Structure 1
């Protein structure tokens, strides 16, 4: 079960982190210590994680520009604007709630390495293959529940990766048994060649997420056997095809639980956003509600 996997992962990660600490200088800032559940709520978004989001946004915008996919022209134009705060359904287009998953163990390790100045590749150690959420990540997903209840979601589409599946099941727990949850390969994270970028088998995921329909995805991650590293164009094309699939769905209000690099590609290379803030890098556990019209 996923809980036992998470427990084993915690032990491996802690051991790796402590061993790494022995080789590093004193940190510029202290890593947060547990001070009880009340204090935990104040640690959901650390300054380090916010700084990482800003850095990742700037770095990836330059990557997209260099790859000539930033603001790319597509056969079907997709115009994006912020949704009405009242939740009013649009007269045309789709009302979409995009979520970046809560903090995964790979995200926590990356922050840890930054704070303690550990020169390592935390996204590529074997222990973070298809990593689950940390407790911080679970709390971030739980923090979305009040907003989630205000939606009128007709469908929850989710990346078949554990952290995205956990996030949607927690944030939209009230929809389980009432609204379809559907896994889709086209909204999984960009594959950079790191262990955290690939997923476990669909049959394994089904055991932990029986409410999710996995019928649209192949049993195995098609990129795992070769550790394929996707180009920026490949990810943009995948995001574009996914949006065409959404356009053809009968539902008007849809939730998409997915990942940061994929979302950044979608909002910067595929969608034409009327507000630059919409195209910024998502932080863990963030949900943006937008209306997308197709022309």
Structure 2
């Protein structure tokens, strides 16, 4: 198949990004600064005229980031922001838990947002954060794989994917600077560009960052090998599992009280 470019974008600042206390906000909106970040991204994104597909996590902050940042492509090419639940954030905190699809229909009524996938069996219980949609490393890994394969089979050739800082490490399989900014190495509205490749061992679809993208953010730094990235991933997955156990224990104690 011809080369396809995936432009990965972390959402703009949401209210949950302003304080730990705000992690208790369910599916928070963008802040005023977040909206300004979207305007800046729109003005500075160099591939706007090439974009022929826009996909986003169904959380409000990601959909609004897509709508505000990629308005020219959406308007000029009559695109819609396609909501893909596999792109949701990794944790089960209220801020990372999506709204009911009927709430989303009301929120984005009259706007170019395609929620059709949200009504399919594949998306059932997408915001319950259990099973396939759980906050475990293995579940997130699987969602990332499904999302990559879904995009690989799309007909578009230049696709913007707006998602979350934590999930982006699983999605791109790049684990550098994971804890630089509250569990992610991605700044709000940062974008990086990738082409598809194949894992030589498993044959699975992977994302390979373009040289231009890596040079823009890393200068002359050499990318880690697949083995080094795998080692970082194992470390991160182990820590996530330990955090999950601690969370469950704390929840159990609180329930008894």
TM over 0.5: yes
Q: Normalising by the residue count of structure 2, what TM-score does the alignment of the two structures yield?
A: 0.64
CA 204–283 in structure 1, closer or farther in 2 if over 3 Å, else same = same
What residue in structure 2 maps to residue 170 of structure 1?
Answer: 68
CA 207–148 in structure 1, closer or farther in 2 if over 3 Å, else same = farther
CA 223–212 in structure 1, closer or farther in 2 if over 3 Å, else same = closer
The gaps in structure 2 that reach 5 residues or longer are 179-183, 204-257
Matched-pair contact (CA < 8 Å) for 1:235–1:265 = yes
What residue in structure 2 maps to residue 17 of structure 1?
Answer: none
How far off its partner does 1:175 sit?
Answer: 2.5
What residue in structure 2 maps to residue 36 of structure 1?
Answer: none
Which of the residues 188, 191, 197 maps onto 2:96? 197
**1:201-220 counterparts in 2 under 5 A?**
201-209=100-108, 210-218=111-119
Distance in 2 of aligned mates of 1:141 and 1:290: 21
CA 201–158 in structure 1, closer or farther in 2 if over 3 Å, else same = same
Distance in 2 of aligned mates of 1:93 and 1:233: 29
What residue in structure 1 maps to residue 54 of structure 2?
Answer: 156
What residue in structure 1 maps to residue 81 of structure 2?
Answer: 181
**In the alignment, does 2:190 pair up with 1:266?**
no
Distance in 1 of aligned mates of 2:139 and 2:89: 12
How far off its partner does 1:221 sit?
Answer: 4.8
CA 236–93 in structure 1, closer or farther in 2 if over 3 Å, else same = farther
> What SS class does the counterpart of residue 62 from structure 2 fall into?
helix
How far off its partner does 1:285 sit?
Answer: 1.4
> What SS class does the counterpart of residue 207 from structure 1 fall into?
helix
**1:1-295 counterparts in 2 under 5 A?**
92-110=2-20, 121-123=21-23, 125=24, 128-148=25-45, 150-151=47-48, 152-177=50-75, 178-190=78-90, 192-209=91-108, 210-218=111-119, 221-224=125-128, 229-268=134-173, 281-294=185-198
The gaps in structure 1 that reach 5 residues or longer are 1-90, 111-120
CA 155–225 in structure 1, closer or farther in 2 if over 3 Å, else same = closer
How far off its partner does 1:101 sit?
Answer: 0.4
RMSD: 2.8
Distance in 1 of aligned mates of 2:168 and 2:129: 25
Higher RCO (C-alpha under 8 Å, 6+ residues apart): 1
User: Radius of gyration: which is bigger?
Assistant: 1
> What SS class does the counterpart of residue 176 from structure 1 fall into?
helix
> What SS class does the counterpart of residue 51 from structure 2 fall into?
coil
1:139-182 deviation per Cα after TM superposition (whole angstroms, max 9, x unaligned): 11111112336331111001110000110111001123422321
How far off its partner does 1:291 sit?
Answer: 1.9
CA 144–221 in structure 1, closer or farther in 2 if over 3 Å, else same = farther
Aligned residues: 186
1:85-144 deviation per Cα after TM superposition (whole angstroms, max 9, x unaligned): xxxxxx94320111100111000123xxxxxxxxxx541x2xx10000001111111111
